[in-house]
Amino acid sequence: MKKFELKYGCNPNQKPAEIYMEHGKELPIEILNGRPGYINFLDAFNSWQLVKELREALGLPAATSFKHVSPTSAAVGNPLSEVLQKACFVEDIEGLNDSPMACAYARARGTDRMCSYGDWIALSDVCDVTTARIISREVSDGIIAPDFEPEALELLKAKRGGNYAIVKIDPTYVPDPIERKQVYGVTFQQGRNDFAIHEALLQEIVTENKEIPESAKRDLIVALITLKYTQSNSVCYAVDGQAIGVGAGQQSRIHCTRLAGQKADTWQLRQHPKVLQLPFLDQIRRADRDNTIDLYLSEDDSDDVLGEQNWKKWFKTRPEPFTKEEKRAYLDTIRGVSLGSDAFFPFGDNIERAHRSGVSYIAQPGGSVRDDHVIDTCNKYAMAMAFTGMRLFHH
């Protein structure tokens, strides 16, 4: 296939629309089901690059959940504890930990379920049946992967009334080293960002604390590769092989750090016993459960948010209140989180906010005129910070 005609572009009025290869080359994909759209393909090709690079860097199957050309999360296929399975709503998936690919997607989808609603999925490895079972019950637009087990493919084809978008990509495809795009009729050209992210980037540790354990190095690599395919400015918190908070496309670095930190805090609080034991009514849909948990974990006290009558819409019995003080006390026990930034931190306020979300390890390019202030703030909290020397803007 040399080109594929799309229903429309970003919006219904933007016609005609198509994807194609220059010089009459074959597209590196097969469309196995559905009719992916313009934004679907933007998500597909960006998300595929992310998981392919994670797989190459860490040697583990990787998955990401994408929305509007940025990842809500990305993860590698580490097994899930019972608590994590429950927090990700996959405790009933038989044989989950026997499938690293399923573990990766369970983590990526489970991290920020509000933002992952209607996601585009990328898998680094063959989509197996266990992974397909997780995907089959979530609201999702489509998937890209190098291949699909036959039974997995049939499960996915049944989604969205048979219209679920399924794209198979040639894993050996290598794009041209020069990329181009047009804005307002003007063509932009640049070298493709083929900068490799690996452990050697973390050698220049500029803080008093020089210790970054192997697990944190893995998490920093997850964060940095995630940022490489996130709309800038962007900041990413990561732990246990998964991105737990992504702040994308903000004009101010501190707003990135706050947004991503808030998402990371929500992820941590979702694992609190009060959340895991919420007495939901049996008929509550998964998306409504996500929204209710988000409301329960809002900045207001949960008892005030739920109100005297609202809880009856969602729960069998009234849940215990979860006060701001309890939430803060729980978050204050969190340590060992890693944080990556796609550009330098201009002020120490970013470090102060990161500390509130349990960050112990940081990787950022460095190069600010206030690097000394940022380093001093890290030293204040005994954080270890590496300067990578490489900016990772993505637009």
pLDDT digits (tens, 9 = 90+) for 23-42: 889 999 999 999 999 999 99
Active site (annotated) includes residue 68: yes
- Total of domains in the chain: 3
Instruction: Please indicate, yes or no, if residue 6 is contained in any of the structural domains.
Output: no
Q: Are 197 and 53 in contact (CB under 8 A)?
A: yes
Instruction: Please indicate, yes or no, if residue 183 is contained in any of the structural domains.
Output: no
Considering 46, 52, 67, 355, which one is annotated as catalytic? Answer: 67
Instruction: Please indicate, yes or no, if residue 4 is contained in any of the structural domains.
Output: no
Based on the fold, state whether residues 365 and 221 are members of the same structural domain. Answer: yes
Based on the fold, state whether residues 117 and 168 are members of the same structural domain. Answer: yes
Instruction: Please indicate, yes or no, if residue 86 is contained in any of the structural domains.
Output: yes
Instruction: Please indicate, yes or no, if residue 8 is contained in any of the structural domains.
Output: no
Give the pLDDT of residue 349. 96
Active site (annotated) includes residue 33: no
Helix (H) / strand (E) element for 340: namely strand 337-341
Based on the fold, state whether residues 382 and 284 are members of the same structural domain. Answer: no
pTM of the model: 0.95
Query: Average pLDDT for residues 216-226, to the nearest whole number?
Result: 98
In 3-state terms, what secondary structure has residue 48? helix
Active site (annotated) includes residue 395: yes
Give the pLDDT of residue 302. 58
Give the pLDDT of residue 310. 72
Based on the fold, state whether residues 229 and 358 are members of the same structural domain. Answer: yes
Residue 62: domain span? 24-174
Asked if pLDDT for residue 134 goes beyond 70, the answer is: yes
Q: Are 66 and 121 in contact (CB under 8 A)?
A: yes
- The mean of the pLDDT values for the chain is 95
Rg (CA), the chain: 21
Instruction: Please indicate, yes or no, if residue 228 is contained in any of the structural domains.
Output: yes
CATH classification at residue 300: 1.10.287
CATH classification at residue 236: 3.40.140.20
Q: Per-residue confidence at 295, pLDDT binned at 50, 70, 90? A: confident
Based on the fold, state whether residues 261 and 298 are members of the same structural domain. Answer: no
Active site (annotated) includes residue 13: no
Residue with the bigger pLDDT between 23 and 69: it is: 69
Considering 33, 78, 233, 350, which one is annotated as catalytic? Answer: 233
Based on the fold, state whether residues 253 and 299 are members of the same structural domain. Answer: no
Specify the residue for token string 């080359």: 25
Q: Which of 330, 337, 99, 100 is nearest to 213 (CA)?
A: 337
Based on the fold, state whether residues 259 and 283 are members of the same structural domain. Answer: no
Asked if pLDDT for residue 384 goes beyond 80, the answer is: yes
Total residues belonging to the chain: 395
Based on the fold, state whether residues 297 and 358 are members of the same structural domain. Answer: no
In 3-state terms, what secondary structure has residue 244? strand
Based on the fold, state whether residues 253 and 291 are members of the same structural domain. Answer: no
Based on the fold, state whether residues 342 and 314 are members of the same structural domain. Answer: no
Instruction: Please indicate, yes or no, if residue 187 is contained in any of the structural domains.
Output: no
- List Cα–Cα distances, 340 to 46, 64, 243, 385, in angstroms: 19, 17, 10, 10
Asked if pLDDT for residue 178 goes beyond 70, the answer is: yes
Query: Average pLDDT for residues 112-135, to the nearest whole number?
Result: 97
Instruction: Please indicate, yes or no, if residue 231 is contained in any of the structural domains.
Output: yes
Based on the fold, state whether residues 308 and 335 are members of the same structural domain. Answer: no
Based on the fold, state whether residues 294 and 347 are members of the same structural domain. Answer: no
Considering 13, 23, 210, 395, which one is annotated as catalytic? Answer: 395
Helix 129-136, helix 100-111: angle, nearest 10: 20
